[in-house]
Amino acid sequence: MVLTQLVVLLIGLGVVSFFSERAVLCSTQLAKRLKVPPLVIGVILISVGTDIPEIANSIFSSYANHGDINVGDTLGSCLTQITLVFGLAVLLGGSAIAHRKNILILGACAIAAVALAALVVLDGHLTRSDALLLILSYIILIAVSAKFTIKEIGYAKEPDLFCPKEEGYLLTTLSLVLSLIFVVVGAVLVIESAIEISTSLKLPEFFISFFVIGIGTSLPELSVELAALRQKQYGILLGDLMGSNITDATLALGIGPLLFPTIISGEVIIPFAFYVVFATLVTVALFAWREKMDRHSAIVLIAVYLSSLMLT
């Protein structure tokens, strides 16, 4: 039973990862045809696009009244992206370089986002008021990020990953819609299998979603960051890295409870929530201090991620 559900979980994560990446490609192509500014593509569109899995999971887990899966996935994704994914991308794709000012501005917004998420989960409830606060914070933090980093990120030339081969407008739109449908199907498979696994193993749903689903839904960020590093598009990398964390900790976490308020296991979640804040602080401080992330820094980030296992 557990093995079967684990296979279903992995299939669901694979479907979500593949089709969310396809959705990013299609939406980027459509945005360019509509002459959307590169800033929107680089900082907002791509970071939201790569967080489609977390957004879908937030809605469906909240609908099913399993708020711990929503919180576990979003916080787990934040930790995975800022440490494990970033570290692996640097190890595989080469060093990342950015100006201290841009790192500090975007990093401060990412820290504020995860700190707010940690505070919101303290009382064991995710209400509509909490959700509205998170979504409003998303708008403010993304606006601040965009305003003060536009010189580096806003006018960067996008890597080829974000410039897919031109297809017909109708075909691209259809492909986008189908991709989003498959993301939803994958998200449902992930949530149902996670519930079954946690019940069978008598483990908190939060643990499964934080460590397993959190990694699976972060795979789109790994492919984006690898492409950006290999083509030395550091502005796109920084925008997606920090933008994705802002999006996860605010928009993705809040969108489900906005529709379906839920109860969560605060006593289990709180240590992990504050560890995510700590990990984000470490990454931003290390990146800003050196103005680059190389193999040595990447090992530190991966170690920070692995240290979270001690919280279980």
Q: Does pLDDT of 157 surpass 50?
A: no
Q: What is the pLDDT of residues 166-222, one digit of tens each?
A: 567 778 778 878 887 887 788 888 888 888 888 888 888 999 999 988 888 887 788
62's enclosing H/E stretch is: helix 52-63
CA R_g for the chain: 18
**pLDDT for position 180:** 78
- Calpha distance 304→13 (Å, rounded): 24
Strands of the chain, DSSP E: 96-97, 125-126, 262-263, 292-293
- Per the listing, tokens 């606060």 go with 133
What's the angle, vertex CA 98, arms to CA 73 and CA 240, rounded to 5?
A: 30
Tokens describing residue 294: 């190389």
- How many helices (H) and strands (E) in the chain? 16, 4
Cα 41-45-50 angle, rounded to 5 deg? 125
Residue tagged 């970033």 (tokens): 86
Q: pTM for the whole thing?
A: 0.86
Confidence (pLDDT) at 96: 93
Dig out the tokens for 117 from the structure.
Answer: 């998420």
**Count of the separate structural domains present in the chain:** 1
Q: What is the pLDDT of residue 275?
A: 98
Residue that has been written with the tokens 């809605």 in this structure: 59
User: What's 99's DSSP letter?
Assistant: -
CA within 13 Å, CB half, 91: 14
Report pLDDT for 167: 60
* pLDDT of 159 higher than 50: no
What pLDDT, on a 0 to 100 scale, did the predictor assign at position 219?
Answer: 78
Q: Say how far apart CA 116 and CA 160 lie, in whole Å.
A: 35
- Side-chain-facing half-sphere of 276: CA atoms under 13 Å: 33
pLDDT digits (tens, 9 = 90+) for 94-152: 999 988 988 999 999 999 999 999 999 999 999 999 999 999 999 999 888 877 665 54
- Helices 100-120, 234-246: inter-axial angle, 10-degree rounding: 20
What percentage of the chain has pLDDT greater than the value 90? 47
Q: Is the per-residue pLDDT at 156 higher than 80?
A: no
Top-confidence residue, 238 or 29: 238
Structural domain of residue 242, as residue ranges? 2-311
Q: What is the pLDDT of residue 255?
A: 96
* pLDDT 10s digits, 243-261: 889 999 999 999 999 999 9
What pLDDT sits at residue 18? 81
Contact yes or no for 229/86 (Cβ under 8 A): no
Q: What is the CATH number of the domain that holds 91?
A: 1.20.1420.30
Length of the chain: 312
pLDDT digit string (tens) for 26-68?
766 766 676 665 455 555 666 777 788 889 899 989 999 999 9
Is the predicted pLDDT of residue 12 greater than 80, yes or no?
yes
